[in-house]
Amino acid sequence: MTEPTPEPEAAKKTEPEPEPEPVPNLPVRPPVPPMLAKPVKAMPKQDGTLFYEPKWDGFRCIVFRDGDEVYLGSRNERPFTRYFPELVEAVRAELPGRVVVDGEIVLPMGTQLDFDALQQRIHPAKSRVSMLSERTPAQFIAFDLLAVGDESLLEAPFAERRARLEKLFPEEKGGSVRLTPVTTSEEQAGEWFEMFEGAGLDGIIVKPGDQPYVPDKRTMFKVKHERTADVVICGYREHKTGPIVGSLLLGLYGDDGRLHHVGVAASFPMKRRAELVEEIRPYLAELSEHPWGHWAEQAAANAGQPAAGPATGGQRVPGAVSRWNAKKDLSFIPLRPELVIEVAYDQMEGDRFRHTAQFRRWRPDRTPESCTYEQLERPVSYNLDDVLAR
């Protein structure tokens, strides 16, 4: 259950989001911050109460429906309603007349999920929202029931909420509102953990069956994939507090021989951030001599272009304007691409790390040129419809 990406700054300026009207006559009303999960390293052992579900890679969303009135609430309490008109219609067609359902907005592309395409759905222009809703329609994966009719289920244990939710889906119809699979078998959950990644899912959520729904509290558990890779340090961005390392910019060489930006490592104690500045100082480089040095001119000429678009010939570079915050400074201090580190990562999003990578150790025994995409473990492909059919 991925945290929803903040609404783009441009959307706030050009089309301010109106204050949401409360959905009338529902026992649970927006905004409701969703219940969360705490990360754990290993799959929790079955104690007789646990339920295991696939961890979906999308935007967390709570759906409120009262007749024709539909409200799609996000984790940051800014509604998704305007960005997913096709889901509003699907909720009216496929869910009961008065219901509150917790779940995830996902975007299937072929047999897999595409989070990058899902991010493109958050756009300030109504015409583009309409076009994308037809070109790349989203789906809603339901996994909890907060209210039905006049009854709030927040105090009910999850086992009861799940049983009531299943009654809303007497059979898998393959529509736009789907029901997530669930198991009480720890062994089955282990198989799902390995198998479903190929469809774009990124782990397992574990829910105690005897607990109520507690908004904004981490009472569930999540088990995510973790792998390691050797990457090149290509530069760094300064921390917001001053001239110390905020994040290290990471690169991998592609089949084309070019060095691609694949993500950042940023989780360092403050003392270590200051030490890193001194350690990498001998490798400072001129931007004009850096493999990504061309980004500045292109970013100026193509402001707002994606980081790996036509302007960069498909090469991932770190200097493009952020589409989520136009004021965010994405400039960086270049380093000669000679230092190699090992990082831990959970999954890939296309050709880059989906989340911030974690520093593990220096790799003085590795040459930068040996840090290629070939070392990355690729999950076996798995059909998304087969996941939901379970």
Q: Identify the CATH number of the domain in which residue 332 sits.
A: 2.40.50.140
pTM of the model: 0.75
Of the candidates 83, 31, 36, 19, the one whose C-alpha atom is nearest the C-alpha of residue 62 is 31
Of the candidates 348, 314, 318, the one whose C-alpha atom is nearest the C-alpha of residue 330 is 318
Identify whether 2 is part of a domain: no
Identify whether 4 is part of a domain: no
Q: Does residue 186 share a domain with residue 56?
A: yes
Q: What does the pLDDT read at residue 325?
A: 43
Express each pLDDT in 223-272 by its tens digit: 988 889 999 999 999 998 989 999 999 999 999 999 999 999 998 999 99
- Look at residues 224, 244, 279 and tell me which one is the last residue of a structural domain: 224
Q: What does the pLDDT read at residue 294?
A: 73
Q: Does residue 273 share a domain with residue 250?
A: yes
Q: What does the pLDDT read at residue 388?
A: 87
Q: Does residue 242 share a domain with residue 318?
A: yes
Q: Does residue 369 share a domain with residue 235?
A: yes
Q: Does residue 121 share a domain with residue 101?
A: yes
Q: Does residue 195 share a domain with residue 59?
A: yes
Q: What does the pLDDT read at residue 282?
A: 96
Average pLDDT over residues 304-333: 51
Identify whether 330 is part of a domain: yes
Q: Does residue 271 share a domain with residue 193?
A: no
Domain of 322, in residue numbers: 227-375
Range of lowest pLDDT (32-41, 170-179, 359-368): 170-179
Identify whether 170 is part of a domain: yes
Residue 214 and residue 19: Cα distance in Å, rounded?
25
Q: Does residue 369 share a domain with residue 238?
A: yes
Residue 103 sits in a domain of what CATH number?
A: 3.30.470.30
Q: Does residue 305 share a domain with residue 196?
A: no
Identify whether 380 is part of a domain: no
Q: Does residue 300 share a domain with residue 219?
A: no
Identify whether 385 is part of a domain: no
Identify whether 290 is part of a domain: yes
- Look at residues 224, 256, 287 and tell me which one is the last residue of a structural domain: 224
Beta bridge pairs of residue 228? 344
Q: What does the pLDDT read at residue 24?
A: 56
Number of domains making up the chain: 2
* Position 214 pLDDT exceeds 80: yes
Q: What does the pLDDT read at residue 306?
A: 40
As a whole number of Å, the end-to-end CA separation of the chain is 19
Average pLDDT over residues 379-385: 83
Count of H-run helices and E-run strands, the chain: 9, 19
Q: Does residue 253 share a domain with residue 171?
A: no
pLDDT tier for residue 380 given thresholds of 50, 70 and 90: confident
Identify whether 333 is part of a domain: yes
pLDDT tier for residue 350 given thresholds of 50, 70 and 90: confident
Q: Does residue 264 share a domain with residue 115?
A: no
Express each pLDDT in 79-105 by its tens digit: 999 999 999 999 999 999 999 999 999
| Rounded percentage of the chain residues whose pLDDT exceeds 90 | 65
- Look at residues 224, 243, 270 and tell me which one is the last residue of a structural domain: 224
- Alpha-carbon separation of residue 364 from 36, 58, 276, 338 (angstroms): 40, 37, 16, 9
The catalytic site residues sit at 55
* Position 38 pLDDT exceeds 90: yes
